[in-house]
Structure 1
């Protein structure tokens, strides 16, 4: 959209005659119009772009639908001069009438009818959950209400005293803790969908349940907007509308739908007139422009004063300043408007700091002494007159183990490669102990190898690689895009380490397409500018071809030659490349393991991509080559926290969690299998010039599936790949697919995880109910790589017969289509899978037997021990106090949340940490009752006892006993009485040194 046309229109048209609605092509046009309106003091309300076919499942568009409704509600409430700006496609949807946007104000001291409030929130589209983490969610726990109102910056925690609102605090959804001491007098709640009365809600619900449209779950989230009837209106007809640009193409696209969403009569007939006095500017140098127009008034638009102070502006005193968002560069007869703002960068993907424990009844767990069992839940038991809670684990032969919740750290979820089911261990047998001993030996071998290589590297002097800052800034600016903050931070860390005189050994982790290669190219640039050679090694020829193209293009302006070496390189050319590398003529080479025998004249840097995909021999050769040079390893799998801790003294880490600006999310739809859906998805992708992945995870049935697809679309260009196709053939076919020779790739889950195919933007997963959440999230990450929106269809055989957990998993994926949602969804699974990749050889046999979590914990211990950092091996404390102590289910009713708090308390390493968790419990659930408070005291006792080398703390009647690891005589204390309070005070007094033994 032309900003000059719109600016002149606002200048020359009286406010009363102006349009109320500006119709534009897309988000970018809307953004440009918003900057102009804001500058002219007209309050803009911008609707997000939504391109939907009639009846499409809306669950996948949850965040945009919430944003759309919040913006419409704000528009209808605003009394001043305002303008609604909307893409045409969005206006073609049924949109709600102004009266459906109600609000509810809650004030400190107000009396609240909790049941009526819950009923209203349900009608307003809120989701009732255990833990509030995103807009439109509410959690009611006794007299505490957590609620995240759409449009609010933070969720709020409302505490009641009986029926009166006692306090309102904002809280952080990541930590679930209050934000400082900030207290609010009142808050205004907005609907999560629409503010519906009972009759309206029931009528809409009925229409949705009888809807002819197909969706995984027929509910208001999925289909509500399509059935508004009397609740909706046609904004194009009801408002004075004007088109901001030519929308012919968009209109034709809308009319081509089987059911046009928009009557031709609604289209705005008037369009912004072309500007006569004003024009848009391309600004390369602000100062030169200002100097070239000494007689004009100059207004600078900037986001903040600090942006102005940090700029290189001259003649600052003659300039006027307007502080606002948006980019606006215009020239009029007597004024210049110039913007210092840059496009807004993408937000960093937040990793949840609170990883919820996903131990659910029926799942496999590993006890560090007794091995693999099935978690049956939490139970209260009375032992010697005292009530405590235990985790119940079932072993072979229905044997049951009761684990006190205070010792929960001895249990981990059992996770191995997806689909692997473990054999249950037999309780009391020594077989698991022997197995752990074997694994420990193997781990010591791996750990000592890691440490030896690290020690050799540390003893060597590094090759200092320093780059002129101005030259490096120029190289960065030629990337052709704005680097994300994470990329810049990773580049800074790498350049610092390369120039520091040590030998770099860094691991760079980032999702595919988040820009690892760009970061690596800065390191290669540093090596070459210092007169050295650099090589990049990758596991497949397809990946090698992709990296070769990227490097060649990026280094061309610097006349740095890049060569490629893999199995497709002709023999004569290969000999020539190897000769030039040995003589030092060639500075940069990219290739597969074909490079591993090469000799270099002065190699300074080895970059390894997806190292875990190389074979054992190739890894050995890589280690040899990288021994006395800088090493940068890249991985697309997240780094497990425990492995990160274990390796942090040996390797340095960089992580990129921010998606590139042009990257868009992947719309995810869960559907029952239907050939019509498959056909429409493939043809929709083909119409926009793209390609499709079709995942069918059965080699036996894949040819039959190929036949069905050919019958469905006779002219479909398709290739079929699975693990029985040779590696050479697979690579050939993948390269043809990349070159656009096929419309569809039908394969098992071997869809290569490292490759970047920006033209393939639709993924169909057949039999999605048979996949784990992490696999599905990784599969859909294959699409939406370029600037185009990706579509992922998860097809299930029979949605009515799906098990509850499969249904829940698929709904979670459909609801979290936004980028980086892997962090929310599958981080635990993904990070653990990544652990296996980084350790070296796939220890799948051992991992299968003991699970990843315990495996990583043992690896961490082995590395610590071998590197001399192993503290005295941690010895547990057996707590056996005869007092009622557990987290009360009246206070924390949800077993899953109690379990997560038990786990965190059991793993607490200091008394301060125990009491911090207590504060959090008070904040989230209210004042602890007696049994909860006593449990927290016992956890503080456990921490103090561990610090003092005590092996057991127990009590009987009014006596408290302490036993020691080193065999000292046990200590016996007499409490004033056998009351719980006195027993706890006596134990605590002794541990804190304020009570001596009798």
Structure 2
């Protein structure tokens, strides 16, 4: 940084900064530093992303970087002043980049006339993706007279409402919840999402792409266009006055492999270099006030994002000898005549917002659970004409091809069937009553579990807890020695634990968060507070591998804090075991990390028990740990999120904390979809081996897994492969994982058993065989096995033959590849994981019941049991059977996409009062325009359902002009409508129900 600062400072002083039009640095981090310096010196920086693709790569997995490059180049060329500098990482600038003529923009304004087909064509040519629902930049959706567009670089979308072909209104909308603002705007600008190409140029590029031999799953402008710019591309270091940093030259020498079609390395070596700094040095002063006293007489600049920060550092804002700059720059240098110090911390990269609207991804053939009829297969929504009126029904098939037609207004009585990864649903028989009996059995078990949970919580409530003093300066010092900045979630969770520990009550808290999100770091704060107060702590893990991982990381962290600790597991010798147990009993040891071996251990003054991966322990084992001492604090950790509703039910009984934010050093996982070939597998394995890593290979079929191993070894004879699956004994599996962790072999060939609970930071590539046969949640979870360290992870979804897989599977995989899954995949996967997380709380012993009725229904019943036993009266769910001869459905003319209609049906069926329906109606009008007649009538049908339930009505039916209401006690009342027209039937029914 000091070299770049001195170099640019000298250019500025010579009034010749425009000599440097392009600054070549080595990576994103240095680019950000250079950008701060350029801005600080009064010039305009434009920073390109670090684009680390190899020529010919499928670019869908680099879509974020490509969009960023497009956006920055567009801004760079649009900015007409001379005070601009383009800053680029080495790898990005080594490719020919699009010329200025590839960039353009156009505006859409109020009262413009729009030709839909022309607009569609232009957006496609400019690199926009067409989707059902716009959830991120560079996406567009055209639904009749409503057009949604989110231009590249925009935080919000723009919703255009047309009257015929004229723009009637333009409003911004929130891409998280799809709601538009009330204020109308006059116009907005659209810039290219890839390049502003005309029809002919696009065709020429597409023709080139068609001829190319590539393993890209779909060969089009989005996946390969960048490689075939031809005359549209130029090598910028030849065009602009360029300088290169020393660090970028080091990268050239050490790690840079130039492939064919990439610019020759010598061309970089001929660029003018940024010399080593002679005058300026980088600084990191611990005490700024004291540091400044050593540099009196120099020009001092303090950079801070706020005045409050200046005050927090005890600096005087009125001191005229200090030049205060209020901005977000981070520059810390000292020279012969000046000092520049920044009070700011590094700003995290903006993460993609998680979409709040979960789009229902029920595929035909998916298993669902009906709360009365059990497990069946969803076969879509079908319109059925009953008594001359058209209605939509959900079709579910059961054993023996029996069909259930479920009215869409009652779709809330079914849930997606989710069990553990290896379970395959068994469909039930319709009308046998066997499912009701099964539910009754499960209910009994659940009441017993809920009763235990409540009894334990109540008993612990009566005991006084050990008070731990958590207000010590040394605890803050511990946080500072972590070497990274805690996430907000970590800081909040530590605060919640400290409140529990110091309250005088017995703590029982569960912390949920993905592996690598920093749960152990949170636990270590609790351990240190306990130990410093003179008490002991034990940390229990389900496997020796996890115990070893935790022991090593804790020993390192606690080294300078004098914590006396040991490890106790199945591998500990008998002699060591005795020694550790004695040391615990006489108080010589403050912390022991171990496995089940710690159950029933005797201690001197134990105050804290931490249970890692707590769902791997049975209820009895957990109780044994609580029996170690009646006032012991219990802190459990789990790697799966807990559903919000269960969280609420349980939070009355135990403390709940969660980590939802990944640490900032975690890199994303680069995802590819590929068709299987021996060459591809060889390339993936050797690429990972070249960077010293290991791989997971997921082959989800135990019967053919040995044959798959033979195939891999034939292909790569020098590679070591081991197999793991559910039929291998746990002790043996543990040994295999441990050997993998010790880097004794290269590939762990496994079934989907590896999808959770493993933290193997050296395994950073995963191949998923037959990816089209996995559900979205499993694919998402498997992808999470890699990219757990500071190394970039690679995930390959491999299919056998792309011609044989369904369009839906292609769409799902390709969208996962570009990391958006049309905005809904991650949310849906998270929903599945939440449900599983809820199942995990109960322990694995219950998996049999879960398999029979699915997690969703199981958790609903557990919540009910907890609520009932806690004295909260939950109303029994009632249904009303509506057989009105009216056409009421969300029409496909109004909303074309089935999955969006399905989700609206689900949301409307769950409404419990009229206001909720009106809010959804307003949202529908906002997103899709005014509802047509059948849609409007369906919304009124939902109001009828809500009113009927509140009046205790069981069925409503109509014949000709007669409308009959049957009450809960089977009494009937019939009224007459003025005619048999739909609107008369509806208004007469509503009048009766509103009485």
Same fold (TM over 0.5): yes
Q: Measure, in 2, the Cα distance between the counterparts of 1:260 and 1:883.
A: 66
Give the aligned partner of residue 301 of structure 1: 303
Q: Which residue of 2 aligns with 1:208?
A: 209
Deviation at 1:777, TM superposition (A): 2.4
Show the counterpart of 1:145: 147
Deviates more, 1:369-378 or 1:508-517: 369-378
Q: Name 2:200's counterpart in structure 1.
A: 199
1:31–1:326 CA contact under 8 A, matched in 2:
no
Displacement of 1:38 after TM fit? 0.8
Identify which of 161, 167, 170 aligns with 1:168: 170
Q: Partner residue of 1:272?
A: 274
Q: What do residues 40-97 of structure 1 show as CA deviations (whole Å, max 9, x unaligned)?
A: 1211111111222221111111111111111111111111211110011111223211
Deviation at 1:669, TM superposition (A): 1.7
Between the aligned partners of 1:349 and 1:836, the Cα distance in structure 2 is 29
Supply the distance in 2 between the matched residues of 1:421 and 1:595 (Cα, whole angstroms): 36
Q: 1:9 touches 1:273 (CA, 8 Å); kept in 2? A: no
Residue 745 of structure 2: aligned partner: 742
State the distance in 2 between where 1:307 and 1:242 align. Answer: 35
Q: Which residue of 1 aligns with 2:870?
A: 867
Cα distance, 1:963–1:801 mapped onto 2, change above 3 Å: closer
Query: Superposed, which structure 2 residues align to 1:400-479 within 5 Å?
Result: 400-418=403-421, 420-479=423-482
Which structure 2 residues correspond to residues 692-707 of structure 1 after superposition, within 5 A? Answer: 692-707=695-710
Residue deviations 1:400-423 (CA, integer Å, cap 9, x gap):
322221111112122233364433
Deviations 1:933-956 (A, max 9, x none): 232233223223333434344455
Q: Is 1:673 aligned with 2:676?
A: yes
Aligned to 1:481: 484
Shift of 1:203: 1.1
Counterpart Cα distance in 2 of 1:804 and 1:886: 27
Whole-Å Cα distance in 1 between the matches of residues 855 and 375 of structure 2?
Answer: 12
Residues 770/937 of structure 1: CA separation in 2 closer, same or farther (3 Å cut): closer
DSSP 3-state at the match of 1:393: strand
Work out the CA distance in 1 between the residues paired with 2:357 and 2:256: 48
Q: Is 1:76 the counterpart of 2:77 in the alignment?
A: yes
2:234 is equivalent to residue 241 of structure 1? no
Change (3 A) 1:379 1:349: same
The match for 1:758 is 761
Paired with 1:185 and 1:306, the residues of 2 have a C-alpha distance of 38
Which whole-Å CA distance do the structure 1 matches of 2:336 and 2:695 have between them? 53
Q: Distance in 2 between matches of 1:489 and 1:285?
A: 27
Contact 1:55/1:214 (<8 A) preserved = no
The CA deviation at 1:427 is 2.7
- Residues in 2 aligned to 1:724 and 1:392: alpha-carbon distance in whole angstroms: 37
Matched, 1:921 2:924: yes
The answer to whether structure 1 residue 158 and structure 2 residue 160 are counterparts is yes
Report the CA distance between 1:474 and its aligned residue: 1.8
SS where residue 427 of structure 2 aligns? coil
Which residue of 356, 359, 372 maps to 1:353? 356
Shift of 1:794: 2.6
Partner of 2:189: 188
Deviations 1:302-355 (A, max 9, x none): 223444455432354323322322310123444322111101135577543222
Q: Which residue of 1 aligns with 2:29?
A: 28
Unaligned runs of 5+ in 2: none
> What TM-score results when the alignment is normalised by the length of structure 2?
0.94
Contact 1:812 1:825 (8 Å CA) reproduced = no
**Could you tell me how far apart the structure 2 residues matched to 1:809 and 1:485 are?**
32
Aligned equivalent of 1:606, options 598, 604, 609: 609
Q: Distance in 1 between matches of 2:456 and 2:662?
A: 34
Q: Equivalent of 1:282, from 269, 279, 284?
A: 284
How far apart are the structure 2 equivalents of 1:626 and 1:206?
A: 75
Equivalent residue in structure 2 for 1:109, among 108, 111, 116: 111
Secondary structure at 1:481's aligned position in 2? coil
CA distance 1:908–1:312, change in 2 (3 Å):
farther
Local SS of the residue matching 1:843: helix
Change (3 A) 1:92 1:253: farther
What's 2:40 paired with?
Answer: 39
**Which whole-Å deviations, capped at 9, do the CAs of 1:690-738 have from their partners, x for residues lacking one?**
2223333444544444444444444434444444554434333433332
Report the CA distance between 1:174 and its aligned residue: 1.8
The aligned residue for residue 90 of structure 2 is: 88
Contact kept in structure 2, 1:254 and 1:260, CA below 8 Å: no
Contact 2:358/2:824 (8 A) holds in 1? no
**SS of structure 2 residue aligned to 1:226:** helix
* Mapped partners of 1:713, 1:976: distance in 2: 81
Asked whether the equivalents of residues 4 and 245 of structure 2 are also in contact (C-alpha less than 8 Å), the reply is no
C-alpha change, 1:6 and 1:283, in structure 2 (3 Å) is: farther
2-structure distance, mates of 1:211, 1:29: 36
Match of 1:607, SS state, is: strand
Query: Are the structure 2 counterparts of residues 405 and 722 from structure 1 closer, same or farther at C-alpha, using a change threshold of 3 Å?
Result: closer
In 2, distance between residues paired with 1:769 and 1:624? 48
* CA deviation map 1:651-697 (0-9, x unaligned): 33211111111110111122222333323322322322222233334
Structure 1 counterpart of 2:796, from 784, 793, 799: 793
SS of residue paired to 2:844: coil
- Is the CA contact 2:606–2:629 (under 8 Å) kept in the aligned structure 1? no
Provide the rounded CA distance (Å) in 2 between the counterparts of 1:170 and 1:787.
Answer: 38
Structure 2 Cα separation of the partners of residues 520 and 817 of structure 1: 33
**Where does residue 544 of structure 2 map in the other structure?**
541
Among 122, 125, 128, which residue is 1:123 paired with? Answer: 125
Instruction: Describe the SS at the equivalent of 2:218.
Output: coil
Change (3 A) 1:955 1:20: same
| SS of 1:826 mapped into structure 2 | helix
- Partner residue of 1:508? 511
Matches of 1:925 and 1:973 in 2, distance apart?
A: 36
Moved more, 506-515 or 414-423: 414-423
Alignment partner of 1:219 is 2:206: no
TM-score (norm 1): 0.94
Look up the SS of the partner of 1:317 in the other structure. coil
Aligned partner of 2:135 in structure 1 is 133
CA offsets 1:611-646 (integer angstroms, 9 cap, x no match): 222356534534544764222111111223343243
Aligned residue in 2 for 1:556 = 559
Contact kept in structure 2, 1:616 and 1:841, CA below 8 Å: no
Does residue 630 (structure 1) correspond to residue 640 (structure 2)? The answer is no
The RMSD of aligned alpha carbons is 2.6
Equivalent residue for 2:903, pick from 897, 900, 903: 900
Residue ranges of structure 1 left out of the alignment (5+ in a row)? none
Aligned to 1:771: 774
Contact 1:418–1:772 (8 Å) recurs in 2: no
> Are the aligned partners of 1:378 and 1:389 in contact in 2 as well (CA < 8 Å)?
yes
Cα deviation code 1:478-513 (max 9, x no counterpart):
212110111111111221222223322222111111
Query: 1:808 — aligned with what?
Result: 811
User: Shift of residue 959 of structure 1?
Assistant: 5.4
Q: Deviations over 1:965-984 (max 9, x none)?
A: 3x395555555655544544
SS at match of 1:424: coil
